[in-house]
Chains A and B, each alone.
Chain A
Amino acid sequence: MATPEPDWQRWYDAHAARLLLYARQWLPERADAEDAMQAGFVKFWRSRSRPEAADLPLLFTAVRTAALDLAKSRRRRTGREQRAADTAPTAWWDGDTLAERERVDVVARAIAALPLEQREAIVLRIWGGLTFAEVARTLDENINTVAARYRAALTKLRDLLPEACHDAE
């Protein structure tokens, strides 16, 4: 009989990609983002040995804190204050075909151009799969503030993205 997977592995499988994307909002380098994700995930798992679905915002918060800490230490070391904002994101999303990869590149640049607060709201809502209430809990913000940031981000993205990106299938 096969040994059942530890619980953390199920959580990892379900959330790893979205957590990595979230960490990359501060740490564009994939290796750095993975380090932050590891630190956040381990800390979360040690604090909640039997987490429930309602604990998901805490997992995002743990990864966010780890990413912010790591980004701060990286900035101190490199002295590049606006590194996250200035660096064009690479490979945040998968693209199987050349056309898809081009579209991903355009979307990534548009999202990178958003203010961080709006970017966080949109990443957590769309790719994190969180409700507005959960996004608010993750960020320790008011739910109306979070919803306003999300709508502002979409409005800005509609301006930044070419029409083809809106309607592409």
Chain B
Amino acid sequence: MTPSDAPFDDHADQSAQANQAADERLSAQLAGLRPVEPGPGLRSRIAAELSLPGADSFETLARRRRVAVGERLAWAAGGAVAASLVFLLGGVVPSGREQAPVAAVTAVDSVPAAAARPSQVRDEALSWSDEGIRFVDEFTPARVLRRKVIERHVAGDGTAEVRVPREDVIFLPVALR
């Protein structure tokens, strides 16, 4: 700032102060006006509407959404664990799902019932296929895997073997973004 600017700045300051004072006077004046009150019926209409079982509050909806997400995550985690178990124990645990009729029975002789009871079951994987993402329900996407196996049931004494074709459909919950 040069000394020659000083008078102009003083003048600008005075002008700004005058404007500010005028603004304050005007706003105080305007604040003195009383807005019209609503009609008497509005209060009773609001009371009536609030007494109705209306839509849930945003807080309730948010809480419900959180619970639903938690449940879905729990189901997803459970599904993932179950799917992992199928992978890990696939050779040991027989699956009862989508069992096809017996395809082949060999060496069916008259054997004692106790001996004919299968003591060992083995899965022989034939093929895997990935059928992509599908929605299990409205909100739960899952990757669908299809596995074809042959179950081999061997009788305790090894005298009989039953082979059963089986198809497993595995739903792996996934998160979509």
A168 to B32, alpha carbons, bound, how many Å?
10
A154 to B19, alpha carbons, bound, how many Å?
10
With A16-B42, A151-B23, A166-B26 as contacts: A21 and B35 at CB distance below 8 Å: yes
A165 → chain B, closest Cβ, in Å?
7
A126 to B37, alpha carbons, bound, how many Å?
16
Q: Tell whether, in the assembled complex, residue B50 and residue A165 are in contact, meaning their CB atoms are under 8 Å apart.
A: no
Q: Tell whether, in the assembled complex, residue A93 and residue B35 are in contact, meaning their CB atoms are under 8 Å apart.
A: yes
* CB neighbours of A49 from chain B (8 A): 57, 59
A108 → chain B, closest Cβ, in Å?
9
* CB neighbours of B56 from chain A (8 A): 46
Q: Tell whether, in the assembled complex, residue B31 and residue A126 are in contact, meaning their CB atoms are under 8 Å apart.
A: yes
A93 to B34, alpha carbons, bound, how many Å?
5
B134 → chain A, closest Cβ, in Å?
36
For residue B103, CB closer than 8 A to chain A, the reply is: no
Interface size for A (C-beta < 8 A) is 39
With A8-B46, A41-B46, A42-B49 as contacts: A21 and B36 at CB distance below 8 Å: yes
CB < 8 Å neighbour of A16 from B19, B38, B45: B38
Interface size for B (C-beta < 8 A) is 29
For residue B85, CB closer than 8 A to chain A, the reply is: no
For residue A146, CB closer than 8 A to chain B, the reply is: no
A151 to B109, alpha carbons, bound, how many Å?
103
CB under 8 Å from chain B, chain A span 28-87: 30, 34, 37-38, 41-42, 45-49
Q: Tell whether, in the assembled complex, residue A167 and residue B25 are in contact, meaning their CB atoms are under 8 Å apart.
A: yes
CB < 8 Å neighbour of A92 from B23, B36, B58: B36
Q: Tell whether, in the assembled complex, residue B23 and residue A42 are in contact, meaning their CB atoms are under 8 Å apart.
A: no
For residue B30, CB closer than 8 A to chain A, the reply is: yes
CB under 8 Å from chain A, chain B span 91-139: none
A48 → chain B, closest Cβ, in Å?
7
Q: Tell whether, in the assembled complex, residue A166 and residue B25 are in contact, meaning their CB atoms are under 8 Å apart.
A: yes
For residue B33, CB closer than 8 A to chain A, the reply is: yes
CB < 8 Å neighbour of B34 from A17, A47, A151, A167: A17
Q: With contacts A37-B38, A167-B29 known, what are 12 further pairs, Cβ within 8 A?
A: A9-B43, A9-B47, A30-B39, A34-B42, A37-B42, A38-B42, A92-B35, A92-B36, A104-B33, A126-B31, A158-B22, A166-B22
Which 9 A-B residue pairs are closest in the complex by CB-CB distance? Answer: A21-B35, A47-B58, A93-B33, A17-B35, A154-B23, A94-B34, A46-B57, A17-B37, A20-B38
Binding site for B on A (CB under 8 A): 8-9, 12, 16-18, 20-21, 30, 34, 37-38, 41-42, 45-49, 91-94, 104, 107, 122, 125-127, 151, 154-155, 157-158, 161, 165-168
